[in-house]
Amino acid sequence: MSLLVYGINHRTAPLQLREKIAFGESEQPQSIQNLLSDNSSVKECFIVSTCNRTEIYCSIESGNSENIKHWLTDEKPVSNEELLNCSYEYWDSDAVSHMSKVACGLDSMAVGEPQIMGQVKRSIEIANQCSSIGENLDLAIRAAISAAKEVRTRSKIGENAVSIAYAASSLATKIFSDLSQKKALLIGAGETIEIVASYLNRKKIGSLTIANRTISNAEALASRYKAKTTSLSNVNSFLHEFDIVISSTASSFHIIGKGTAEAAIKKRLRKPIFMVDLAVPRDIEPEISELPDIYLYSVDDLQEITAQNVQLREEEKVFAESIIDEAVKEYEAEARLSDDISFITAFRDKAEQIRLQELHRAMKQINNGKDPTEILGEMSRSLTNKLIHSPTSAIRQASRAGRREIISNLKEIYEISDLNTVKSNEVSKKTTEE
């Protein structure tokens, strides 16, 4: 079995393509089942889908990614031609290395951003609920998550934190120097919106309203940041009341359309609205950016803003990558051991079978009245002969065939470092006796 990571991200694919193949949390279970049922070569899988990437992680029998590509083009409105120059794939140890870099934020738009770890863990949690993670992926996941935690703990990659949510919030403070008189509308109630809410709350935002389809989720978040709540269906009717609008939902359609935005601007008497769309697919219709007095930023627009601390974090990347390299080496050793564990089990079982046979024979003889001391001697000789029979035969065959590497391996296994020294000691002993 091989490990494969197949996907696209913010460096390889534009936002329009990433939107097409995004997998919301609610659709991931069915998509995972479709992937496993449609492809017999795929044995395990999970999907990581964020605003910056969609990646399929799987344990696969075949040595190519064609089955994954075909499934993706069937599952989403995307063609092979669109994916051709935008997708990438990583195999086996490289796949584990990539997973580690994703989990610790080394592969993020904002290097070192902390949200991705939670997003990866959530993807794994969903896959576990679908029973789509087995031994192979589990070993890789444990190695990657452990490496990511080491990177976060031992390096400074997370200092001067810059995430997309942070970038959106900090941009608001640059546009409006004083937030105490401003009203903000946050659409959604997930982790990203909570980060934004926390930041704006610290910056003493004048008024904070959280809109969400599920009111209870909005209320739970609002209670922590002294915010108001409203239903998502009400947004269009009072959009004009807000100076700042930041949206991050898993909606499959636009929540704010161009017509709604035009009406809001008219009611505001041309007072500007700052909008940030952090969702993939987008919550805010892109054409809104054409309107006067509306400043709309998408996920991709924030890339320049997040670059402020990139240089500082780049200096830490070398150290972080060395931590990951060590983790990958450890994974490779564990993977090799896992591959050979069945042999080790069979080897020990065979030895145990020989032991039990000899023990049974010896006990039978003792019960028949034979001298126990004599029986123990016979048992030890018989047990030794049977245990060394196979290695002795292998040595003879290897010697005749000139396969010195087998003899060298057996010398290492049995810790016989110098046969000449052994032979010399035997000669010296014999001479002394004579």
CATH number at residue 59: 3.30.460.30
Q: Does residue 315 sit in the same domain as residue 385?
A: no
Q: Does residue 292 sit in the same domain as residue 226?
A: yes
Q: Tell me how far apart the alpha carbons of residues 111 and 303 are, in angstroms, rounded to a whole number.
A: 11
Q: Is residue 344 part of a domain?
A: no
Q: Evaluate whether 280 touches 299 at the Cβ level (below 8 Å).
A: yes
> Nearest CA to 67 among 99, 88, 38?
38
Q: Evaluate whether 299 touches 277 at the Cβ level (below 8 Å).
A: yes
Q: Tell me how far apart the alpha carbons of residues 197 and 226 are, in angstroms, rounded to a whole number.
A: 10
Q: Is residue 286 part of a domain?
A: yes
Q: Does residue 134 sit in the same domain as residue 192?
A: no
User: What is the block-wise mean pLDDT of the chain (434 residues), using blocks of 10 residues?
Assistant: 93 92 94 92 94 94 86 93 93 95 88 86 96 94 94 81 74 86 94 88 92 93 92 92 94 93 92 93 94 91 70 79 92 78 79 88 88 88 86 84 83 72 53 54
Q: Does residue 400 sit in the same domain as residue 359?
A: yes
Q: Does residue 324 sit in the same domain as residue 292?
A: no
The whole-number pLDDT of residue 42 equals 93
Q: Is residue 180 part of a domain?
A: yes
Q: Is residue 345 part of a domain?
A: no
Could you tell me which residues are beta bridge partners of residue 231? 212
Q: Does residue 149 sit in the same domain as residue 9?
A: yes
Q: Evaluate whether 278 touches 244 at the Cβ level (below 8 Å).
A: no
Q: Evaluate whether 5 touches 56 at the Cβ level (below 8 Å).
A: yes
* Residue 192: count of CB within 10 angstroms of its CB: 24
Q: Evaluate whether 358 touches 386 at the Cβ level (below 8 Å).
A: yes
Q: Evaluate whether 42 touches 97 at the Cβ level (below 8 Å).
A: no
Q: Does residue 13 sit in the same domain as residue 92?
A: yes
Q: Does residue 180 sit in the same domain as residue 214?
A: yes
The length of the chain, given as a count of residues: 434
The domain that holds 288 is classified in CATH as 3.40.50.720
Q: Does residue 259 sit in the same domain as residue 117?
A: no
The whole-number pLDDT of residue 299 equals 86
| Annotated catalytic residue within 51, 58, 86, 104 | 51
Q: Is residue 229 part of a domain?
A: yes
Q: Is residue 429 part of a domain?
A: no
Q: Is residue 240 part of a domain?
A: yes
Residues 6+ away with beta carbon under 8 Å from 57? 3, 4, 5, 45, 46, 47, 48, 95, 99, 137, 140
The whole-number pLDDT of residue 72 equals 95
In 278-372, DSSP assigns E strands to 294-297
The whole-number pLDDT of residue 394 equals 82
Query: Tokens 């010896």, residue?
Result: 362
Domain count of the fold of the chain: 3
Instruction: Domain of residue 54: give its range.
Output: 2-154+311-328
Residue 115, CB half-sphere, CA atoms under 13 Å: how many? 22
Read off φ and ψ for residue 108, nearest 5 degrees. Answer: -80, 160
Based on the residue annotation, tell me whether 51 is a catalytic residue of this protein: yes
Q: Does residue 56 sit in the same domain as residue 189?
A: no
* Residue 381: count of CB within 10 angstroms of its CB: 11
The whole-number pLDDT of residue 388 equals 83
Q: Tell me how far apart the alpha carbons of residues 40 and 382 are, in angstroms, rounded to a whole number.
A: 49
- Order of strands across the sheet with 183-187? 228-231, 207-212, 183-187, 244-247, 273-277, 294-297
Q: Is residue 276 part of a domain?
A: yes
Residues 6+ away with beta carbon under 8 Å from 148? 100, 103, 104, 117
The whole-number pLDDT of residue 405 equals 84
The whole-number pLDDT of residue 307 equals 67
Q: Identify whether 272 is preceded by a cis peptide bond (ω within 30 of 0).
A: no
* CA dihedral for 302, 250, 119, 133, sign (positive or negative): negative
Q: Does residue 14 sit in the same domain as residue 142?
A: yes
Quickly list DSSP for 232-273: GGGGGGSGGG-SEEEE----SS-SB-HHHHHHHHHHTTT--E
Q: Does residue 40 sit in the same domain as residue 175?
A: no
Q: Evaluate whether 57 touches 95 at the Cβ level (below 8 Å).
A: yes
* Residue 334: count of CB within 10 angstroms of its CB: 14
